[in-house]
Structure 1
Amino acid sequence: MMSAMETNMVLILTIFYNAYFLLAISSQLLLLYLMLKCQNRSLHEMRIYLFNILGLQFISTFSAFVLQCRIVPSSGTVAMLCYGPCKYLGNIVCEVLFHILQTSLIACATALIIAFYYRYEMLTNNSFTRSGHYKQLVISYCVPLVFLICEVLSPNDVNKLVAELTVLHPTYGLENYAILGFSDVKTVAASSQTLMLMIGLYGTPFIALVFRKKIIKILHSSRSYHAEKIVQTKSMIQGLTLQTLLPLICYCPGFTYYIYSQYTQSSSLFVEFAVSPYGFVYTIFDPLLTIYYVLPYRRTFKAIFSKHNSTTSATFVHSETARRVA
């Protein structure tokens, strides 16, 4: 049976995830609408990569909401206690969704890198074939696929997880959760998975900054680009850079707690609830960064907003005039 504190924390977490899902899906749908509405020729090919990123973020948002997991690490295992709707569908469904969530998060990181690479190639070679786009996308999914294989091969004995949780956390209401995770984090597969997470977490921003430096250098040294293209490219690169830094900021608390608990064999109910959902918050802001820093989308949004305000003002003036005449 849950303690009073755990019950309250579950309630707060449920409210958070509902608010998170609403905000994240709203920002993603807004970006999708603008991407379909704006037919700027300069973004015709870039949209392939933006659609790829947006699709992966939608998958991770939906999976995170349905799972609503909190991480409970120990010295040799890591358990995921899921309180979301998936618990009514059984552990197998929860486990599949968890694999989808983790893989989509890794795929988001590689998707941002190939978006950087595409912009760099366009500035250096000024051409990119359709087969080149597909080749890039296939390559970007190779890393998440290897990660998924390592994750599937990692030991996941639920009975061992439940037994250890019962001993280490006797006050946890385990019967209220769908429990999944990894029963031995020191195997080759599990260690490889952790290593890939670390490389993805810290390596993606580093690679992005390297590409950013190269792109900015090309823009400053070349005289063949007109001012509008330079401004648009610089703004887009700034947005992509921030998009690679956001996951680092959001994942660090949870990943740091995981490593800390592994080595100190200590845990905190409050920290478990606090850090677990924090890693997904970036999917709310990521689409908004795209809207702001991709100038054609920003201008399209402003045009729609201005048109709406003009229509509202005209309607108000017309109705007010009619009222006074009457």
Structure 2
Amino acid sequence: MYRTVLSVFYPMFFILVIPSLILLIFIILRYSPDCFQTFKYILLVTCISQIVAVTTNCLIQIRQVSNLTPMEIWCYGPLRHFTALIAYSTYFLTQTAVVISNVLIFLTIYLKYLATKINTRKTCNYGVTFFILSPIFIALGAQTSLILTEGIPSENQDHLEKINFDISDHAVIGYIRLKTLPSIIITFVITGTILILPAVGLLLRKKTLRNINSNKFSITKKALIKGFINGVTLQVFLPLICYIPVFGSFLVLAETKTEVPFEQYFFSVLVMLPMLFDPYIILYSVAPYRKQIEKWIKTKRRQSILIVDPAARIGF
């Protein structure tokens, strides 16, 4: 039953998310104001990382079989027809893209907070920015280590090739050993970004709103900043809501070696779920983008009226 549901879900999820991200990229490139250059590039990279995450997730469609020892990674997607190394590397690419997206969304909050401060020290800001980005490089290093030690060795590839003599349903692409150092690092990075960033983001939101109320910002400017910071804060909290329940279940089930098919099949689905809403949150919370959408809608309505009106007169 789970496989039947997911065989429909993954294509539908791809069709729903990717066009909205492409539309957002177009609007960012075409309609971002000059004062929005830094945020423009951050939003672009965030969108690209989400496209990569969604695409690779749909290609691998993994199931982490936590009741087996060692824990096996099963691939149900099209990449099961390729070598296990390609699918295993894609599995980590998906993780990296998710971490990049989460970290850059938080970085957007931090930079917006800095933009509302009167006095800022550039050297300190650069250091904090690098610290915020550091989880990306740490996770990438740990994932590269696992690919080099677990994926590339010929004996491991030969072993997986023997196991995967029949890939009509799925392929085993690798193993998860939670007690190895790289796996521990990856687990801490992912859970850290999910747990810590929302709390700090909420604090920065509070400070940003306090800054715009105390500093000499116009009413319009205050409304724009408030709408933007509220939207980005919501983005930071979405992974916490979607990810923590299933990840907590994963850790418990991995330790107890209990099989719960729902958790195994839908783990990667729930991790990606925030990306369904992210483009619409940005399009609504960033005033120039929202106004452009409203302009298109009004233009479309006028065109519809102009097309219908002559026919109505002819009928009269």
Quick check: TM above 0.5?
Answer: yes
Larger deviation, residues 265-274 vs 58-67: 265-274
Instruction: Decide which of 223, 227, 232 is 1:235's aligned counterpart.
Output: 227
Is 1:320–2:312 an aligned residue pair? yes
Match of 2:92 in 1: 99
Is 1:308–2:316 an aligned residue pair? no
Match of 1:59 in 2: 52
Match of 1:5 in 2: none
Q: Verify the 8 A CA contact 1:74 1:261 in the aligned structure 2.
A: yes
Quote how far apart the aligned CAs of 1:100 are: 1.0
Alpha carbon RMSD of aligned pairs, Å?
A: 3.0
* Secondary structure of 2:258 counterpart: coil
Quote how far apart the aligned CAs of 1:135 are: 8.8
Is 1:218–2:206 an aligned residue pair? no
* Secondary structure of 2:116 counterpart: helix
Amino acid at match of 1:88: H
Unmatched runs of 5 consecutive residues or more in structure 2: none
Match of 1:169 in 2: none
Q: Verify the 8 A CA contact 1:76 1:186 in the aligned structure 2.
A: no
Larger deviation, residues 259-268 vs 29-38: 29-38
Match of 1:15 in 2: 8
Is 1:258–2:254 an aligned residue pair? no
* Secondary structure of 1:276 counterpart: helix
Instruction: Decide which of 81, 106, 120 is 1:88's aligned counterpart.
Output: 81
Quote how far apart the aligned CAs of 1:26 are: 1.9
Is 1:31–2:24 an aligned residue pair? yes
Instruction: Decide which of 253, 272, 290 is 2:264's aligned counterpart.
Output: 272
Instruction: Decide which of 25, 29, 37 is 1:44's aligned counterpart.
Output: 37
Match of 1:193 in 2: 186
Quote how far apart the aligned CAs of 1:262 are: 2.1
Q: Verify the 8 A CA contact 1:75 1:261 in the aligned structure 2.
A: no
TM-score by length of 1: 0.84
Is 1:150–2:142 an aligned residue pair? yes
Quote how far apart the aligned CAs of 1:132 are: 11
Quote how far apart the aligned CAs of 1:134 are: 9.6
Q: Verify the 8 A CA contact 2:85 2:157 in the aligned structure 1.
A: no
Match of 1:288 in 2: 280
Quote how far apart the aligned CAs of 1:174 are: 7.0
Instruction: Decide which of 240, 253, 263 is 1:248's aligned counterpart.
Output: 240
Unmatched runs of 5 consecutive residues or more in structure 1: 1-7, 167-172
Larger deviation, residues 207-216 vs 230-239: 207-216
Alpha-carbon separation, structure 2, partners of 1:292 and 1:280: 20
Alpha-carbon separation, structure 2, partners of 1:50 and 1:128: 24
Q: Verify the 8 A CA contact 1:116 1:237 in the aligned structure 2.
A: yes
Amino acid at match of 1:144: I
Question: Percent of counterpart pairs with the same letter?
Answer: 21
Distance 1:101 1:241, change over 3 A: same
Distance 1:43 1:133, change over 3 A: farther
Distance 1:24 1:135, change over 3 A: farther
Quote how far apart the aligned CAs of 1:47 are: 0.9
Distance 1:112 1:179, change over 3 A: same
Instruction: Decide which of 59, 71, 79 is 1:78's aligned counterpart.
Output: 71
Give the length in aligned residue pairs: 307
